Structure 1
Amino acid sequence: MRKIPHQQLILIIASISVFFEALDIAIINLTMPLIQRGFGLTANSVQWLQTLYVLLYGGLLILGGRLADTVGRKRVFLVASSLFLLTSLGAGLAPSFAWLLGFRGLQGVAAALLMPAALSIVTNAFTDPAARSRAIGVVSAFAAIGSGSGLSVGGLIASGFGWQWVFFINVPVILITLLLAYRYIPNDTPQRAGRVDVGSGLLLTGLITALSYVVHELANWRTQGGLLVGLMVAVVAGSFLFLKRNRTRPVPLIDFPVLRPALTGIGIYVFLGASFTGFLFLISLVLQNDKGMSAAQAGLLLLPFSVLSAVTGKVFIPFLLKRLSVRQIALLGMGCLTASALFLLLDVHLKPNNFFFLLLSMACANGLGIALAYSGLTVLSIQGVAEANHGLVSGVATTAYFFGGGLGLSVLSLVLGSGLAGEPVVGVWPLLLFGLYGGIGVVWLWVSKSST
């Protein structure tokens, strides 16, 4: 039996951990109706399982990246993996919705620590620039495949075994990767002195949460106008406080000059998050509300495109990396997401159960777009950034993804149909917004390419 090279083993450990972390973002979407019925909840209440996870994940990612740089990437990876394992077990055993929501929120905290630490471990294990780009592409592809397969996996597992198993599935795999990481990932010496500014990290999380809530509740401004204005004042004041704290700390949470080479990648991550998170949200509504499918039927329909996402990560991306720049790969991915919105719009208009455009939409977004765009933007974001700051840049970039996803969903919710009297829940305006998110990313990449 051939021995796996040490570098490749580290890549496998990090990739599997990132895959399950990404899987958990989308796996809950088709599962929530079962949880809603199981605990007797309203639709608004059960949505907090996704909202809380995304807000804590996105809000704490920068802090997670900074901890990987200052405390040590292996230490943070082990702690995060342990917390992710325990909270997955706790969520599956939760006796009430309050307990489930609490464990789900802590899962988001664990994911925020895990993602930047895993990427930092990989970038430091591969020192050759070409090998590093390929390794980052592999990790990013696993993340994209996890996100792309979450819908189908969640629908099939929840329908066949119960919603608890969408959490239990994490436990044995994360346990194995945790043991392998302890044994094979080398110890590292933190590359920066000084204490991490945890206060600024928590303040940033609060600002992102408050801003997302304001956008989400804009439709209710007549009844909640005072609260929304108050929150916006708090966001502005908190932003000034954050900038002041960040400027005066010996080790700032965000070293803004460090981010300058990564600004294009980070900025487009916002629109990637809005586009793909919007797709996950809209396709769930189209399949279950407008087309009347069960979670299992929707999961089966999405399954081939999850396989396509895996093929894209395993075969297409390594092939493309030899022929295209990472910017071109990201452009191709954002173009696929934009095309997905067009095909879904055609499906809504052409109606009666013609699945051709629906299938094309799922292929472009779930099978190709997310894998290509995520991989390309991940490599693009860290090009020109010193190794010591890869954890920070990874955290900022992924925070941008979830910030865009949260705001994008909030805006989409303002233009959804009621579903009453034959009106589709997903009409023209949500799909135009979905297309706009991807289109902005395409234009930005094209313009930045022309100016370089």
Structure 2
Amino acid sequence: MTLKKNSILIIASLAVFVEALDIAIINLTIPAIQKQFLVSNDRVQWLQTLYVLLYGGFLIIGGKLSDVKGPRQTFIAGAILFLLTSLSAGLSGTFLMLALSRAAQGLAAALIMPSALSIVTHTFVEERERSKAIGIFSSFAAVGSGSGLSIGGIISTYLGWHWVFLMNVPILAVIIVLGWFYLADDAPKQKQPSPDLFSGLLLVAGLLMLSYGVHQLGDIEEQYSVIVFCGLGVALCMRILYLRLTRRDNPLIDLKVFSTPSIITANGVFILLGAFFTGYLFVISLLMQKDLHYSSAKAGLLLVPFSILSAVVAKFMLPSIMKRLSTEQTGLLGMVCMLCGGLVLIGAVLAGYSLPLLLLSAAFISGLGMTICFTSLSVLAVKNIPKQHYGLASSMGTTTYFLGAGVGLSILTLFMDKGNAGASVSVLSLAILAVYALIGLLWLIIYQTKNAASKAEAPLEVLQSLHDVF
């Protein structure tokens, strides 16, 4: 790799590191934010819900804008927007301003991620060189996501929650300046059709109304009309979106890609994985700080080993696992880890907030399950589909993950305060988490069984295939 290519890779990787960091970094700052703005669990979760819904809802548009306007322009525009919204979030004097800033951050992240990846793939054209570059790029995203909890906890304890956002400003300023000078002007020479922005707006509007309607179910007698309005709004948005996707020459999403059972399964389980893992990050921060009374810094440091474990699994264990097991079996193994982690988490609360059990659940979920699940589902999402749909199929996996995260978190917070008196998180809400993992596991088992049956395998061979997972 030349010096210029290395510089471009560092610029793109740093940007995606900041974007990935902000997905998890807010979790251990939640008690401090609640204390300042006097907001409940079901309101504070909107800081995460808005971010992931707008991120997921506009991710495909971000990718298409990168193709239409050029990766450099889209990347710099996203970085500028992320800088401004980070500054706005850090200086927020009201919860509403903070929530709106987080929503805009999600939109900025949807511009940065696909354009940064496009910059890397266009810069490194030789196959081996490209694979190495994408590996480095992906590792920055993984480290950013994995270290978010610990970094957020330390910053929140010693500098205050505002600096979780303000720290982005100087980093992004450097990225923007370097990107302006180092990244080549790669605007397409031929004019391409603009992405269907309206379809993206319909998708996000429908999901926001769905999330808000779910929130109001806990007070259905007083909010009945609001719930009905949200339900009608969701139905209308999804109907118009479907018509646009089936009738336009250049739709936002080509629905033909969903004719493949593997991609339906991968995206369905991605939704459940997003709901499970985002909910887990939310509840673990509350359990460790409000129930075990640890500082943000101590809670974050306790979770650092599992970020390291995740990196070790990804680098050294996962390649050999995927050589021994099929993609579907690897996904089963990952979802089994998630379900075990969810059940151990319930046991930790029932055992009087046992720290060893809480950390064991983190080992199953953050250390093992997430890395195995996300990788195997990403591979499954592009299995058995035409090459011309690879890009769409890959982005759909990330999109459905974040959409599941937003809606799943809204469902979870409905049950946060049900049951355990005086506790920040109820056993019922943790049971909802376990149900997400259980449904995902059953979905994969059904797919594996049908897939094996279609190949005329005997029932005993199907059971043996599932047995190989363990």
- Under a length normalisation based on structure 1, what TM-score does the superposition of the two structures give? 0.86
Secondary structure of 1:193's aligned partner = coil
| Residue 367 in structure 1 maps to residue 367 in structure 2 | yes
The yes-or-no answer on 1:196 pairing with 2:208 is no
Q: Which residue of structure 2 lines up, in the alignment, with residue 150 of structure 1? A: 148
2:274–2:403: 8 Å Cα contact kept in structure 1?
yes
Q: Distance in 2 between matches of 1:139 and 1:145?
A: 10
With 405-414 and 140-149 compared, the bigger mean Cα shift is at: 140-149
326-335 or 235-244, which deviates more: 326-335
Q: Secondary structure in 1 aligned to 2:221?
A: helix
**Letter of the structure 2 residue corresponding to residue 49 of structure 1:** L
In 2, Cα distance between equivalents of 1:94 and 1:410: 23
Structure 2 match to 1:187: 186
Offset at residue 222 of structure 1 (A)? 1.1
Any idea what the Cα deviations from partners look like across 1:156-197, whole Å, max 9, x if unmatched?
111111112111222333344445545256836389832221
Q: CA deviation at 1:102?
A: 3.1
Matches within 5 A, 1:42-441: 45-122=43-120, 139-182=137-180, 183-184=182-183, 187=186, 189=188, 193-261=192-260, 262-317=263-318, 320=321, 325-351=326-352, 354-383=354-383, 391-418=391-418, 421=421, 424-441=423-440
Paired with 1:443 and 1:130, the residues of 2 have a C-alpha distance of 37
Counterparts of 2:398 and 2:346, CA distance in 1: 28
Q: Which residue identity lines up with residue 427 of structure 2 in the other structure?
A: V
SS of equivalent residue, structure 2 residue 222: helix
Deviates more, 1:227-236 or 1:329-338: 329-338
Decide whether the 8 Å contact of 2:332 with 2:445 is kept in 1: yes
Q: Indicate the larger mover: 140-149 or 371-380.
A: 140-149
Question: Partners of 2:74 and 2:235 in 1: how far apart?
Answer: 32
Counterparts in 2 of 1:425 and 1:159: CA distance versus 1, 3 Å = closer
Structure 1 residue 246, shift from structure 2 partner: 2.3
Going from structure 1 to structure 2, the CA distance change for 1:70 and 1:334 (only over 3 Å counts) comes to: farther
CA RMSD of aligned residues (A): 3.2
**Further displaced range: 90-99 or 242-251:** 90-99
1:361-406 per-residue CA deviation (whole Å, 9 max, x = no partner) reads 0111122222222233233324466676555434432221122112
| Structure 1 pair 436–41 and aligned structure 2 pair: CA distance change class (3 A) | closer
Aligned length: 448
Give distance in 2, aligned partners of 1:190 and 1:314: 40
Deviation digits for residues 335-355 of structure 1 (CA, Å, limit 9, x no counterpart): 22111112112212233x542
- Counterpart Cα distance in 2 of 1:266 and 1:75: 30
Change (3 A) 1:3 1:58: closer
Question: 1:314 and 1:95 mapped to 2: Cα distance?
Answer: 43
Q: Kindly provide the CA deviation profile for residues 201-233 of structure 1, in whole angstroms up to 9, marking residues without a partner as x.
A: 111110111111112221111111122112212
The structural deviation recorded for 1:150 is 1.7
Per the alignment, in what secondary structure is the counterpart of residue 217 of structure 1?
A: helix
Query: Structure 2 vs 1, CA of residues 190 and 80 (structure 1 numbering), >3 Å: closer, same or farther?
Result: farther
- 1:281–1:42 Cα change, 3 Å: closer
Asked if structure 2 preserves the Cα contact closer than 8 Å seen for 1:31 and 1:163, the reply is yes
How far residue 124 of structure 1 moved from its aligned partner, in angstroms, is 5.5
Percent of pairs with identical residues: 46
2 CA distance for matches of 1:324 and 1:126? 31
Higher relative contact order (CA 8 A, sep 6+): 1
Aligned residue runs from structure 1 range 433-452, under 5 A: 433-450=432-449, 451=451
Alpha-carbon distance in 1 for matches of 2:438, 2:140: 24
CA gap 1:239/1:102 in 2 versus in 1, 3 angstroms: closer
Runs of at least 4 residues off by over 6 Å: 126-135
